[in-house]
Amino acid sequence: IYIGCVHDATDRDLLTRTGITHVLSALEDCPEVPMSIEQLHLPISDTFSSEFEVLPSFLRGAQFIHEAVSAGGRVLVHCAAGVSRSPTMVAAYLILYHNMSMETSISHLQALRQVVSPNLAFLGVLLTMEQ
């Protein structure tokens, strides 16, 4: 599982070099990826009025990651900058499929990618998933 920015999703050399088989795009505008790569587009905004608006998207994204990894795939999860939305998506996967706590999942991701910083609303979504 790789966390990145929108530019990573369109970098054919990077996708090939890392063996990416699946791309999860968690932003409003969906970049075009090579046709050989399975893509899921979840148009998540950094600003929303209710966690109930985005919770289904995070649940679906975590399922997509799980299915890809279970099949031996490599997944790039990206948003615009790879700071809030995409790390939250990977944290949701870790909480739901690896029984990590919200705090442990975020700490784990920050150790691997220092810029990881989910916004407060997304942290609330992760807490809901943890329960």
Query: pLDDT tens digits for 70-128?
Result: 999 999 999 999 999 999 999 999 999 999 999 999 999 999 999 999 998 899 999 99
Domain ranges for the chain, please list them.
Answer: 2-130
The catalytically annotated residue of 1, 33, 54, 79 is: 79
For every residue of 29-94, DSSP letters joined together read SPPP--TTSEEEE----S--S-HHHHHHHHHHHHHHHHHHHHTT--EEEE-SSSSSHHHHHHHHHH
Q: Per the CATH hierarchy, to which homologous superfamily does domain 2-130 belong?
A: Protein tyrosine phosphatase superfamily (3.90.190.10)
Model-wide pTM > 0.85: yes
Our answer to whether residue 30 is catalytic in this structure is: no
Q: Are 59 and 72 spatial neighbours (Cβ–Cβ below 8 Å)?
A: no
